[in-house]
């Protein structure tokens, strides 16, 4: 009886170790996929500018000496035809 209990405890702990192993393998796989998705990393913004009336994306890039490439990359998903007064734009940073 004591021997049977010992064996089932051994079996249970093997199952536990095995499932932890599978779980950590699945998790590292998930992290690898997540890291791949994050590759175009989120831009860092060092300075913001509040849009005033009559401001345009072009005018803002001119006054801050930004290339449109940099401006676009630090302001992802910005719709320049729908700028609104008080909208915060990133005018310095890196992407």
Measuring CA to CA, how many Å separate 49 from each of 28, 76, 79, 80, 95?
A: 40, 15, 16, 14, 17
- CB 43, CB 93: distance < 8 Å: yes
Binding string to ligand NAG for residues 21 to 60, with x set by CB under 6 A, is what?
A: ----------------------------------------
Residues in a beta bridge with 45: 93
Using CB under 6 A as the binding rule, whether residue 84 contacts ligand NAG is answered as no
Q: Which is nearer to ligand NAG, 10 or 59 (CB)?
A: 59
Which one of 64, 73, 87, 93 is in contact with ligand NAG (CB under 6 A)? 64
Which one of 36, 39, 79, 84 is in contact with ligand NAG (CB under 6 A)? 79
């Amino acid at each position: 009886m004591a021997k049977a209990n010992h064996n089932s405890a051994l079996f249970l702990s093997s199952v536990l170790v095995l499932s932890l192993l599978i779980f950590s393998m699945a998790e590292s796989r998930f992290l690898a996929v997540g890291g791949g998705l994050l590759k175009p990393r989120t831009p860092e913004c060092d300075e913001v500018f509040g849009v005033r009336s009559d401001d345009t994306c072009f005018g803002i890039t001119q006054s801050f000496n930004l290339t449109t490439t940099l401006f676009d990359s630090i302001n992802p998903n910005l719709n320049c035809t729908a700028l609104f007064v008080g909208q915060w734009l990133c005018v310095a940073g890196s992407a």
